[in-house]
Amino acid sequence: MAIHSLPSPGEEVGDDIVAEINITPLVDIFLVLLIIFMVTTSVITSQGKQVDLPGAAVAKATPSGVTVTIDSEGAIQIGDKAVRPEALTKELKAALDASREKVVILRGDRKVLLGQAVNILDVAQQAGASGIALATRPPAAGEK
């Protein structure tokens, strides 16, 4: 893009003002921002430990809140932080106090015993959770 001015009376024609915008630095900045967003998005989407979630026929969107994960060995995590069972009430209350949504999302491996899940739900209620959600995965093709 160039800006040209008309010559004034008495001005020589060869003294044109030419101003161009160099967009190379702008493109560099946008590419760096794109890379930063791509990296941070992949970090944000990983939610703690991988567990084999049970399937559900009807899937709804995941609410925001505090995620509690129980793996197949019975280890408990709140978000990405490992928690001992005896400290669960205190840690869950602190996480709920820090969260805008007072909902606990239970992500339990399909091998977790029902008693462990019920214990987590009891602790969530005692810690002041206003709602509880169970995380599931959509059924695979041909699975009921």
What domains appear along the chain, each with residue ranges and CATH number? 66-134 (3.30.420.270)
The CA-atom distances, in angstroms, between 60 and each of 5, 21, 102, 142 are 62, 49, 18, 20
CB 89 within 8 A of CB 123: yes
Model pTM score: 0.52
Per-residue pLDDT, 42: 65
4: which residues sit within 8 A by CB, 6+ positions away? 16, 17, 18
Query: Quick one: what percent of the chain has pLDDT higher than 90?
Result: 6
Buried b (16+ CB within 10 A) or exposed e, 120-144: bbebbeebebeeebebbeeeeeeee
The number of beta carbons lying within 10 Å of the beta carbon of residue 99 is: 16
Reported as a single tens digit per residue, the pLDDT across 33-89 is 999 888 877 665 555 566 655 555 555 555 677 888 888 788 888 888 888 888 888
pLDDT of 27 strictly over 70: yes
